[in-house]
Chain A
Amino acid sequence: MMSLHSRVAIPCSIAMAAVLSLTLAGCGGSSEPSADSDGKVTITVLDSETDEPANSATDALFAHCASNQPGVTIKRVTVPAAEYITKAVQLTASGEAPDILDTDGINVPTLAQAGVLAPIDDLVSSDKINADDYDEGPFSAGSYDGHQYAMPLGNNGEALFYNKTMLEDAGIEPPKTWADLQSAAQELTAGGVYGFAFSMQPGEEATWNWLPSLWSNGGDLDEVNSPEAVEAMEYWTGFVEDGVSPKAQLNLSSADIEPAFVQGKYAMALLGTWTVPGLVKDAEAAGMEWGAVPQPSPDGSPSVTPFGGAVLAVGAKVVTDDAKQQAVFDCLAGLQDSATMVEYADSAGYIPSYHPAATDFLADRPQYQAYADQFASSKSRTGVVGADYAKVSQAISTAISEVATGQKSAQDALDTAQAAVPAS
């Protein structure tokens, strides 16, 4: 779905060497003309939707491209999310470059820098794709180094879910500020119930859950050891230190937290968009009542959250072939249709990025409203550090668990993490 999934790939740099050598051996492939004499074009899509129902949803999505344009055939190549970047680069190097890259927004700078993507500035200026139809955060996730490389497809994020019964019994309003959340979590922690649970699982999920604290407190990724960042880290790990959040969350994902939240083990929880279909079903079966609000901020103003989700980018070789470029651009522009996007988002676990579709989507699905309220103030994770985001994110994730387990102070841990930030 997005980069937060734990997927296991074949280990060790020896395997890597083998991969590299295969790639090099495949170098120098010649580009074939895409359109044959009768005007047929095959568009290759590289995606990472390996699981159902997102896999079928992706099939159905691109089937629209084929049905909108006579003579166009779609060929999908699906790889695990963890191997996406390597595979995209490999295919491009071996002359089998994908035409459309359906990928996590955080991969855009890395892929663009490696030369896998072609800018789609022309498409955007031609008004076939209009930036005004999207929220700024998601749209900027598709840009790198002054060029637009991708259009957002589906958004996701994390919102604060609460157990209605527990909050009502305690007479607590859903939290809006940091202080609200801290005191609510304190009060609700009793008798084996934790007040507030959120994922701190090492990797992208820990970092992505902490970023709203950093950004809403005025910090940013160019200086992760600033006083604002240290304060945000102390706030965030404080929930674990105070015992109002379970220590187990250091190794739980948002998807692991959802069932325990429904069982009443946590009064409040930070849950991802992709857990909502399961939550709705489980809560109904258990007769549990829940509510959801945007994430709290220091002073109650809108929290600045990271944009997560899928984007559609265009392969570098597409622009060298007029017939193919036309077909690919028409395919992307044609997907901007409310019914198409709602159908896709519903089963793939996103909220449509395209505004008209998002409006229709949310009208019938109030459970996603809290996320949608955050998108207007959401930010791209790769905006400041670009292709170095993976490295910086890893360093922050390590810092979070070092502080939460008491190995280091917030200042020390973030000083170490700062070393991963590229000097500007």
Chain B
Amino acid sequence: MLSGKTKADLGVGAEASLTPRPSAAPRPTRPRAGRGLGALRRHSILFFLLPVVLYLPFFAYPIGYNFLVSLRDYTLSSLITGEAPFVGLRNLSSVWHDPIFLTALRNTLLFTLLSITCQYVIGLAIAVFFSRPFFLSRTLRSVIILPWLVPGVVTTAAWKWMFNESNGLVNRLLMDVGLDPIGWFSTSSGAFAAVTIVNIWTGIAFTVVMLHSGLQGIPADQYEAASLDGAGAWGRFWHVTMPGLRPVTGIVIILCLIGTLKQFDIVWVLTRGGPGNATQLLSTWSYQLSFGEQAFGRGAAVGDFLFALSLLAAAVYAIWNRRTTR
């Protein structure tokens, strides 16, 4: 993880502290300095490994356990007797061949794609808007973070009222501007739009905070230089802001992606996966199988697929990150 530059810095520091400094003393030879540096580097690597070692059990154990459960016919009585017959890949295959699987997978992917795209674009627009100080800009900026601080169940319950078809705020506004009211929860597409909108709204606060701090990190002189070179507002945005935000963008997208893949409470409170599986996600389906039907093995199998999806997303990010930082 140490870049070339920090290695050099460390080397200097190590040399300075290890070597007595009489001016007449001969310069330490390279090999000796190398040995000292090597030992230090070895120890510091161990030090960096420590959090990983401490963290691993909490991270790997539940996932590993989930996988083991998905290989067994795990029912309620298994909890008492401890007996859960090994069924190999039967749960995974039964879930894979279930007609709900394709629906849930398609919904999960579409929900995630729409959510992160809109969260990023809208979040970026708001962050750029607030990057220049104006009257009340600080206050407004903190107001934007509010949705992030309120528990998801609470904000979702409020949204459920606003989306109410006969007397909700959203349909009232639509009718005021002369549009037809939308069947938010009584049509498949309406319900899907509703859960996606609420998820986007909830996530925007996070992207604004992250992108705003990213914007603070772009030196002002780059903008000045770009202006001197004749770049307009768009030019400065594309050639200074966007490249400057690249590291933050990566982390924002991966965190939003993982957050959305495992999104559960918004959908559960708004639609419970309905009407007719129209908003069923892998997460809600897994919950329903495990805790609604006590089919723990199959619920865990859906969890495996969800985990594989997150892993795939993380791998794509890691590769992208390595390419762009090189």
Contacts and interface: CB of A to CB of B under 8 A. Distances in A.
Interface of A: 6, 8-9, 11-14, 16-18, 20-21, 23-24, 27, 82-83, 85-86, 89-90, 92-93, 110, 113-116, 201-203, 240, 246-248, 250-251, 260, 265, 390-391, 394, 397-399, 401-402, 404-405, 407-408, 413, 416
Interface of B: 61-63, 65-66, 69, 74-77, 79-82, 99, 153, 160, 164-167, 183, 185-188, 191, 262, 264-265, 268-278, 283-284, 286-288, 290-296, 299-300, 302-303, 306-307
Nearest to A82: B291
B269 A8 contact: yes
Contacts of B160: 251
Given A8-B153, A407-B275, 20 more contacts: A11-B265, A12-B286, A13-B287, A13-B306, A16-B69, A17-B300, A86-B76, A93-B80, A110-B294, A114-B79, A202-B271, A202-B272, A202-B274, A203-B272, A250-B185, A250-B275, A251-B160, A399-B276, A405-B187, A405-B276
A13 B300 contact: yes
A89 B80 CA distance: 7
A21 to B, nearest CB: 5
A248 B164 contact: yes
Given A82-B291, A89-B76, A92-B80, A251 B262 contact: no
B186 A251 contact: yes
B165 A24 contact: no
Nearest to A192: B166
Given A13-B290, A390-B293, A93 B66 contact: no
B61 A21 contact: yes
B299 A251 contact: no
Nearest to A316: B80
A12 B77 CA distance: 21
A8 B288 contact: no
A226 B286 CA distance: 30
B141 to A, nearest CB: 30
A113 B187 CA distance: 38
Contacts of A17: 62-63, 65-66, 69, 300, 303
A390 B276 contact: no
A390 B294 contact: yes
B65 to A, nearest CB: 4
A90 B76 CA distance: 9
A139 B79 CA distance: 28
Q: Is the interface of A mostly helix, strand, loop or mixed?
A: helix
A11 B284 CA distance: 8
A248 B187 CA distance: 10
A9 B296 CA distance: 16
A382 B307 CA distance: 35
B77 A260 contact: no
B69 A251 contact: no
A16 B299 contact: yes
B186 A405 contact: yes
Contacts of B300: 13, 16-17
Nearest to A265: B166
- Name which of B65, B191, B286 has the most chain A CB atoms within 10 A of its CB: B65
A16 B186 contact: no
Contact of A114 (B62, B80, B187, B272): B80
A260 B161 CA distance: 13
Contact of A113 (B77, B283, B307): B77
A12 B303 contact: yes
Given A114-B80, A115-B81, A248 B165 contact: yes
Contacts of B79: 20, 23-24, 89-90, 93, 114
Contact of B271 (A27, A86, A251, A408): A251
A12 to B, nearest CB: 6
B274 A250 contact: yes
A408 B286 CA distance: 24
B287 A407 contact: no
- Name which of A20, A92, A398, A413 has the most chain B CB atoms within 10 A of its CB: A20
A14 B63 contact: yes
- Name which of A17, A247, A401, A405 has the most chain B CB atoms within 10 A of its CB: A17
Q: Which 4 A-B pairs have the closest CB atoms?
A: A13-B303, A202-B274, A11-B264, A402-B276
A14 B66 contact: yes
- Name which of B262, B283, B291, B307 has the most chain A CB atoms within 10 A of its CB: B291
A404 B303 contact: no
B186 A247 contact: yes
B275 A115 contact: no
